[in-house]
Amino acid sequence: MDDRRFRWGILGTGRIAASFATDLARLPDAELVAVGSRSPEGAERFGQQFGAAHRHASYEALVADDDVDVVYVATPHPGHHPAALLAIEAGKAVLVEKPFTVNAEQARELVAAARARSTFLMEAMWARFMPHYAHVRALLAEGALGDVRTVIVDHGQWFERDASSRLFDRTLGGGALLDLGIYAVSFASMVLGTPTRVLALSDPAFTGVDATTSALLQHDGGRHAVVTTTLEATGSNRAAIIGTEARLELHSRFYRSPTLTLTSRDDVVEVFEAPAETRGLRHQAAEVMRCLREGRTESEVMPLDETVSIMATMDEIRRQIGLAYPGE
């Protein structure tokens, strides 16, 4: 048995980095050894709080740390591409927060760099690795829904208007689509693959980034997805996959609720309960380590080509709603 332990380095010390460090501590085969921050104070504070012994005052120093096997990139979205590239070029395995990058071009560059170096790379779309999502995939694979016709997903959260928050800041990739809509687009992609046609609408927040965005995605075989997201209201945060034999509903919030309801065409209801979760960020880390143990450079649960395709769908939605970020 391969009982290797993997040594993690966390790049960026914000909210999600703290949640990830907390959940990582629950995995016996993972060890948090290092943290990298833009500032010595940030590295020191985070290192002390989560027991990371190596506290680097730059991202460059973190990726150069020989004691680090895997780097987890947890900066705001525009920082993902440069930081992940640094880590890839240093030969590290890399897990990159969602959205993987700001756009598909950046995503393609990271994928090409990782493939050129045969280094592991994965998008940290943590929900993909939750037990209830695995159950969704199993039900689809066994044909429990018949032919899927429609996927409907809504992801809305209320955020206070705050010009200093990265969520509203265009220079930090703010807006509903990249932060929240990504969960809906990724879910639709998991079920239906790449759309052949996209129709999008949006209304802006007070800073000009998107506040409420909706899209219709058309797929081959007469299949549709409806995705809608807002950062101005708490949504139902449910998802439904509607097939010719049955529909499968993921309860609120669809990306972390353990409950799934399968309703047959004749209204026979079956309820599935996955193990209850608190945050569930460790499952993606477990997947990284499983892949590394098996000598894989990417995960078949969140393949890199699919990550690029998801970013291309997001690009098309943004093109239609007229939302560009600095440098685009």
Ligand X SMILES: NC(=O)c1ccc[n+]([C@@H]2O[C@H](COP(=O)([O-])OP(=O)(O)OC[C@H]3O[C@@H](n4cnc5c(N)ncnc54)[C@H](OP(=O)(O)O)[C@@H]3O)[C@@H](O)[C@H]2O)c1
Q: Which residues bind ligand X (CB under 6 A)?
A: 12-17, 37-39, 42, 74-77, 79, 97-98, 126, 166, 172, 179
Instruction: CB nearer to ligand X: give 126 or 325.
Output: 126
Instruction: CB nearer to ligand X: give 54 or 98.
Output: 98
- Closest approach of ligand X to the CB of residue 285, in Å: 12
Task: Name the nearest CA neighbour of 260 among 247, 269, 279, 273.
Answer: 273
- Closest approach of ligand X to the CB of residue 143, in Å: 31
Q: Which residue is nearest to ligand X (CB)?
A: 14
Whether residue 303 is preceded by a cis peptide bond, meaning omega within 30 degrees of 0, is no
Instruction: CB nearer to ligand X: give 172 or 242.
Output: 172
Question: What is the DSSP-derived secondary structure letter of residue 3?
Answer: -
- Closest approach of ligand X to the CB of residue 37, in Å: 3
Distance between CA atoms of residues 12 and 17, nearest Å: 7
Distances (CA, A) of 90 to 5, 52, 85: 20, 20, 8
CA 87 to chain CA centroid, Å, is 19
Residue listed under structure tokens 């409950």: 259
Distance between CA atoms of residues 46 and 229, nearest Å: 32
Distances (CA, A) of 34 to 10, 24, 267, 281, 299: 6, 13, 53, 18, 24
- Closest approach of ligand X to the CB of residue 60, in Å: 12
* Residue 27 near residue 282, CB atoms below 8 Å: yes
Instruction: CB nearer to ligand X: give 281 or 312.
Output: 281
- Closest approach of ligand X to the CB of residue 102, in Å: 10
Distance between CA atoms of residues 282 and 274, nearest Å: 16
Instruction: CB nearer to ligand X: give 130 or 321.
Output: 130
Cα dihedral angle (307, 202, 167, 252), rounded to 10 degrees?
A: -70
- Closest approach of ligand X to the CB of residue 262, in Å: 26
Instruction: CB nearer to ligand X: give 24 or 246.
Output: 24
List, edge to edge, every strand of the sheet that includes 30-36: 54-56, 30-36, 6-11, 70-73, 93-97, 121-124
- Closest approach of ligand X to the CB of residue 289, in Å: 18
Instruction: CB nearer to ligand X: give 166 or 238.
Output: 166
- Closest approach of ligand X to the CB of residue 260, in Å: 20
Instruction: CB nearer to ligand X: give 139 or 177.
Output: 177
